[in-house]
Amino acid sequence: MTTLGEYTSEEIISQPGAWSQALEATTSLGGAIRSLWLNNPGKTILFTGCGSTYYLSLAAASLFTEITGYLARAVPAGELYLYPESNYPVGKSTLLVAISRSGSTSETIAAVKRFKDYKKGPVLAITNYDDSTLANICDLSICIPAGQERSVAQTRSFTSMYIAVTALMVRIADRNDLFQAMSALPGMGEGLISLSHSQARSLGERLDIDRFYFLGSGSRYGLACETNLKMKEMTRTHSEPFHFLEFRHGPMSMVGEQAAVIGLRSTMNSHHEQAVLDEMASLGGNVFCLAESGADLNFNSSLPEEIRNVLYLPPLQLMAFYRSLAKGLNPDSPHNLDAVVHLDL
């Protein structure tokens, strides 16, 4: 017999160990990663995945452009498979980064095979299973077995693969300073998880709140999408993600005493983003902000903004976890969901 949420709880708490393994994997493959990029004359890149890993791809594409200066796109694997002519860059060799926890998601495998059939360029896999179909059909694989999970909703797997994809682009940009700074993340993650339990539980257990809005801009928008998905999966609560300034254009009409507005606030644009949160608070919304400093939950990491985004995730995973328990649900086994989606493609 297991208690409700036993697996999810352990996976959230233990995830910094998987971050360490993700950094080790990218250290060992650093030369191969950079060569794959340098030998790709088109200098274009696509990130793809499904569900959580599509949201990871959104975050990665924005961050890749920020760190390297090269434009990047994120496309759901199902769309990449069904509509290649709409999504392949014309006349350019492209590096495809395919992200999948299991390495066996049907759409992702089909998209990679079609991409290779079209001879569009090399493919790099990021997964938690080194013996998976995806790892075996790609030119290079970054595998993080420590990110494997028994629960359905991705927590430890997502952050471990996000660490890997961040390290990937730091390697491509030849930013050894950023890569060395990333070594501090596992220790900071442990401290943050311990620190954030009380606040995450307090807000998560507020059953008078019936809707959640997650705001994130730039490379944090994909993370806002992911934390929104965790709230949907684990708690069956109405939840939506938005860019900060976009939230003013209609969605703010839903804000009131029964709404929570969660801000993944940056440092670069903190003034504009905080103004949105202040306005939502004035409308009666329950506002909760995460940031490096000056927020409801502070990271106090002293790390460059480009590499610390993973720190937003564990507290919000915990919030969804505690809300699931408060509603009498089992976060290990969300309604209608399986850990891996298998389709006949």
Supply the pLDDT for residue 340: 62
Write down the pLDDT at residue 291.
Answer: 98
In the predicted model, is pLDDT for residue 343 greater than 70?
no
Q: d(Cα 207, Cα 321) in Å, to the nearest integer? A: 13
Domain boundaries in the chain?
6-174, 185-326
The whole-number average pLDDT for the span 180-187 is: 98
Query: How much is the pLDDT for 337?
Result: 62
Mean pLDDT value of segment 40-69: 96
Render pLDDT for 269-328 as a digit per residue (tens, 0 to 9). 999 999 999 999 999 999 999 999 999 999 999 999 999 999 999 999 999 999 999 999
pLDDT band at 191 (very low <50, low <70, confident <90, very high): very high
pLDDT at 138 over 80: yes
Binned at pLDDT 50, 70 and 90, residue 180 comes out as: very high
Q: Note the pTM of the prediction, 2 decimals.
A: 0.95
For residue 291, report the phi and psi dihedrals to the nearest 5 degrees: -165, 175
Which CATH class, in words, describes the domain spanning 6-174? alpha beta
38 or 182: which carries more pLDDT confidence?
A: 182
Q: Which of 59, 60, 55, 51 is nearest to 97 (CA)?
A: 60
Fold equal for 6-174 and 185-326:
yes
pLDDT for 336 beyond 80 = no
Between CA 66 and CA 225 the distance in angstroms is 19
pLDDT exceeds 60 at position 1 = no
How far, in Å, CA of 31 to CA of 156, rounded? 26
Average pLDDT over residues 158-182: 96
Taking the C-alpha atoms of residue 338 and residue 100, their distance in angstroms, rounded to an integer, is 14
Average pLDDT over residues 164-186: 96
Give the Cα separation of 223 and 217 in Å (integer): 9
At residue 153 the predicted structure's pLDDT band, cuts being 50, 70 and 90, is very high
Q: Which positions ≥6 away from 225 have C-beta within 8 Å? A: 55, 58, 214, 216, 241
Contact assessment for residue 223 and residue 264, using Cβ atoms and an 8 Å cutoff: yes
Token reading at 27: 């250290």
How much is the pLDDT for 41?
A: 85
Tokens of 129: 């299973």
Tokens linked to 20: 């360490």
Backbone dihedral angles phi then psi of residue 3, each to the nearest 5 degrees: -80, 160
Q: Is the pLDDT of residue 342 over 80?
A: no
**Quick check: 187 pLDDT over 90?**
yes
H or E element in which residue 106 lies: helix 106-117
List the end-to-end C-alpha distance of the chain, in Å, as a whole number: 37
- For the chain, how big is the Rg over CA atoms in Å? 19
The predicted structure's pLDDT at residue 90: 84
Name the superfamily (CATH) of residues 185-326: Glucose-6-phosphate isomerase like protein; domain 1 (3.40.50.10490)
> What is the rounded CA–CA span in Å between residue 169 and residue 160?
15
Mean pLDDT of all residues belonging to the chain: 95
